[in-house]
Amino acid sequence: MSDWLVPLRVALAERRAPLEFFVRDDDAGRADAQLFRLLDVFESRAAPLDLAVIPAALQPQTAEALRLRRARWRGLNFHQHGYAHVNHEREGRKCEFGPTRGLARQQADIRMGKDRLAALLGDIDPIFTPPWNRCTQETVSALKREGFRALSREAKAAPLALQDLYSLPVSVDWRRQRGGVREPPRDAAAALAEQVAAGAARVGLMLHHQVLDDEDFDALDALLTRLRSAPNVRLSSMMEFVEEQNVSLIGA
């Protein structure tokens, strides 16, 4: 397993500047067995993990298990992932918060989702990840009205006027699908190595626990071990970056 991490190990060894790193796992509320296996990997390595939780999909028993897990492991963090993770567009790419839905409808879904997650999970980070990493300018307005502080999409997503929402993009998709085939872990490691070598100040890794298999869990364990051993890498929660941004703005 270690051979596939060589490019990343070399890039980290050659890098001198600090590197910030976070991991976002999408679609919590589905595939519970795989979700909790993923949590085991991250907790065993004392690595923070941000769960993007689908409000309508989250069941009370899963929420209780997540609350208990967070009570003993403060590296576990929750934020909102759309409302029901359904597609409302008849044409074009899938989108839950897309151009056919106006501000009022989007805000109603966001508010329902926020309230449901607060009732089931308690403390939730004011971060929003739209399903399929897609949303519109109306989504930004709705998030502002509902008190959110950050939006997380893919780094290549179409730009939006975020007002003072903080952007927390993910830049590497673990097991990205191409032509109906999911890339192996070594491709994600190579993408991470490219960003490290290119001088990226922060890298966000996106996971989808429901597609992970035994190879993935072993590979993620090895990846976290490598990152933990790199002196210039800081693994953080997404909310830590939001709070630091707020401090920097106050001090500006």
**Does CATH number 3.20.20.370 belong to domain 2-251?**
yes
pLDDT at 179: 74
pLDDT digits (tens, 9 = 90+) for 114-144: 999 999 999 899 999 999 999 999 999 999 9
Average pLDDT of the segment spanning 197-223:
96
Task: Report the distance separating Cα 201 and Cα 236, nearest Å.
Answer: 13
Please check the confidence at residue 248 and state whether its pLDDT lies above 70. no
Q: Letter for the amino acid at 43?
A: E
Percent of the chain's residues with pLDDT above 90: 88
Residues 6+ apart with CB under 8 A from 13: none
Average pLDDT of the segment spanning 149-175:
95
pLDDT at 162: 95
* Distance, CA of 195 to chain centre: 17
- Torsion-angle region of 24 (φ positive above 0: left; ψ -120 to 50: alpha; else: beta): beta
* Distance, CA of 34 to chain centre: 16
Answer for the pair 108, 96: CB distance below 8 angstroms, yes or no: no
pLDDT at 178: 76
In the numeric block, which tokens belong to residue 248? Answer: 């920097």
CA separation (Å) from 1 to 5, 186, 194, 220? 8, 9, 19, 11
Enter the pTM of the model. Answer: 0.95
Closest CA to 135 of 155, 159, 117: 159
Average pLDDT of the segment spanning 94-105:
96
pLDDT at 183: 85
What values do phi and psi take at 16, rounded to 5? -110, -30
pLDDT at 138: 97
Average pLDDT of the segment spanning 67-83:
97
The DSSP bridge partners found for residue 52 are 79
